[in-house]
Structure 1
Amino acid sequence: MEKNKVMLVDGMALLFRAYYSTAMSGYFRINSKGVPTNAVHGFVKHLFTAMDHFKPSHVICCWDMGSTTFRTEMYPDYKANRDAPPVELVPQFDLVKEVTNSLNIPNIGLQGYEADDCIGTLTTHFEQEAEVLILTGDQDILQLLRDNVSVVLLQKGYGNYKVYTHDTFLEEKGITPRQIIDLKALMGDSSDNYPGVKGIGEKTALKLLYAHGSVEGILQNISTLTKSQREKIERDVDNLHLSRKLAEIYCQVDVTCSIHEAAITIDRAVMEAKFNEVELGNVAQLIAK
């Protein structure tokens, strides 16, 4: 019997990518109800193209549920540098879930957690019984790579991917996927807006991890560091620990989805009725392959 292949989709990553690829040229695909659909249209195209390419047996979509999470409680400035979503995108947040629902694909998300945390939790849940593929554009999720877990990073356009396994990541980066958490703890993350250790960049952080393995290893051997490295870390040790907590994907979110619920069972009539209602045009043809 062929092993199940579960594709966990970072819904927001696909939706935002689809939105910006057309919005840059001012193309929002407004339907007759006055609702923009450019992001939803592109999302479906990304989803169907990936399903056709990787041939999963099961698919689940994970979503962020608002900007307030346990990380913003821990550090109020977390992602505070992000602009509010564009006005044309806002009505598409609910619409995309309706469309996903019409494909009989489960929508998973929980207030207080990010899509990444839901993906991490479901990865832990499924990796023993299935091959897991994570579809995203976000490199943070590479920390979840394990023997039975691959990450598919969307590249420019449709159908272009960079696929990482645990071993290819280790070969390319020289650190294990789990060490991404320690790397980000040391150097911070300007995109997610948390500090790390001031004055330590990627080069130094990697050097320290090659030598000592982890944040704990570095702190245990702090006397062997250069005077400058030691002073920076000692001065910013609280931020180091905080940044590590912010960087780590939480894999014990109270979400669940059975393998049975995630099986691909698209009802063509239901899908086409929804696509016609939303006026998504000929996207449905993409699944006819």
Structure 2
Amino acid sequence: MMDKNKVMLVDGMALLFRAYFSTAMSGYFRINSKGVPTNAVHGFVRHLFTAMNHYQPSHVICCWDMGSSTFRTEMFPDYKANRDAPPTELIPQFDLVKEVTSSLNIPNVGLKGYEADDCIGTLTSNLREDAEVVILTGDQDILQLLTENVSVVLLKKGYGNYAEYTAETFTEEKGITPEQMIDLKALMGDSSDNYPGVKGIGEKTALKLLQAHGTIEGLLDNLDNVTKSQREKIERDMENLRLSHQLARIYCEADVTCGLDEALLTIDRALMMEKFKEVELGKLHDMIS
């Protein structure tokens, strides 16, 4: 028996989309005998099993987005409005991947109105007292959750290639704390999530300002000590700065729970094999003991 609980929180959509696009680019959709594409599900399971074999968690929970409408789109209708609709071949795989996850006795967690990140943030703050938390994702936004007992594993190209972060290694690399990442994104905006930040302030300047003043509040209290051009940009875009700060912060008090008892990793091989056979996932079950 392991001395310490180690929970892997999986950003399901990050794995699913990565798996889909890595094969779809070459026109390969892996369609089963029922005519259902399974390329994303197949790649998702490969990513999941590879990470489970590597990190050996005692517990696993999978978190999902529940539609594109969230409290952030209510605050700012253009939030993520630059994203294309999901490809046709991916749509049937959204439900299928959750069925496959369930067949592994891994809980699926999601809440309407919130993103998977918010579920991950909430579960992280609930579980990190009793367990080491490892977050598996491809999304750098999650790095703001780094703290004691919490590490983040970012998927890189291929399978089994990871960039691993703790709060200490993040600060060494970036020169700011994980918490300051929220302020960083508020200043520079985020083109992939489609929110503005302060026009004309990029990452370099934002990092310098935060290293000098700590937080957005610290910066606003010291606007007399920044360059005239920086002050003008910040004053002109104050509303966007405040809005972007709210959008950038992962909400860690969502109404989701999943206790360690529910998340204990206990794969029933017969149940897994039956589901994998039905979906036609080939020999993937051999990857996991």
TM range (shorter): over 0.9
Matches of 1:163 and 1:205 in 2, distance apart?
24
Q: Kindly report which structure 2 residues correspond to 1:159-198, keeping only aligned pairs within 5 A, or say none.
A: 159-198=160-199
Counterpart of 2:266? Answer: 265
Matches of 2:210 and 2:236 in 1, distance apart?
19
The Cα shift of 1:224 comes to: 1.2
Q: Kindly report which structure 2 residues correspond to 1:250-261, keeping only aligned pairs within 5 A, or say none.
A: 250-261=251-262
Matches of 1:253 and 1:73 in 2, distance apart?
16
Q: Does 1:146 align with 2:147?
A: yes
Counterpart of 1:21? Answer: 22
TM-align CA RMSD: 0.6
CA deviation map 1:234-282 (0-9, x unaligned): 1100100000000000000000001000000110000000000011111
CA deviation map 1:168-222 (0-9, x unaligned): 0000110000111000000100000000001111111111001000100000011
Aligned with 2:283: secondary structure?
helix
Matches of 1:276 and 1:28 in 2, distance apart?
18
Counterpart of 2:88? Answer: 87
The Cα shift of 1:39 comes to: 0.3
Q: Does 1:50 align with 2:57?
A: no
Matches of 1:256 and 1:85 in 2, distance apart?
28
Counterpart of 1:117? Answer: 118
Matches of 2:164 and 2:121 in 1, distance apart?
17
Matches of 1:114 and 1:165 in 2, distance apart?
23
Aligned with 2:217: secondary structure?
helix
CA deviation map 1:104-147 (0-9, x unaligned): 00000000000000000000000000000000000000000001
Q: Kindly report which structure 2 residues correspond to 1:201-280, keeping only aligned pairs within 5 A, or say none.
A: 201-280=202-281
Matches of 1:282 and 1:41 in 2, distance apart?
10
Q: Does 1:34 align with 2:35?
A: yes
Counterpart of 1:11? Answer: 12
Matches of 1:235 and 1:160 in 2, distance apart?
42
Matched to 2:30, the amino acid is R
CA deviation map 1:61-95 (0-9, x unaligned): 00000000000000000000000010000000000
Matched to 2:145, the amino acid is L
Aligned with 1:274: secondary structure?
helix
Identity of aligned residues (%): 78
Aligned with 2:261: secondary structure?
helix
Matches of 1:211 and 1:191 in 2, distance apart?
27
How many residue pairs end up in the alignment? 288
Aligned with 1:133: secondary structure?
strand
The Cα shift of 1:151 comes to: 0.0
Aligned with 1:269: secondary structure?
helix
Q: TM-score, normalised by structure 2?
A: 0.99
Instruction: Note the residue ranges of structure 1 that are not aligned, 5 or more in a row.
Output: none
Matched to 1:233, the amino acid is I
Matches of 1:73 and 1:118 in 2, distance apart?
18
Matches of 1:6 and 1:202 in 2, distance apart?
32
Q: TM-score, normalised by structure 1?
A: 0.99
Matches of 2:241 and 2:9 in 1, distance apart?
30
Aligned with 1:52: secondary structure?
helix
Matches of 1:149 and 1:10 in 2, distance apart?
15
Counterpart of 1:67? Answer: 68
Matches of 1:160 and 1:230 in 2, distance apart?
42
Matches of 2:47 and 2:177 in 1, distance apart?
29
Runs of 4+ in 1 over 6 A off after TM superposition: none
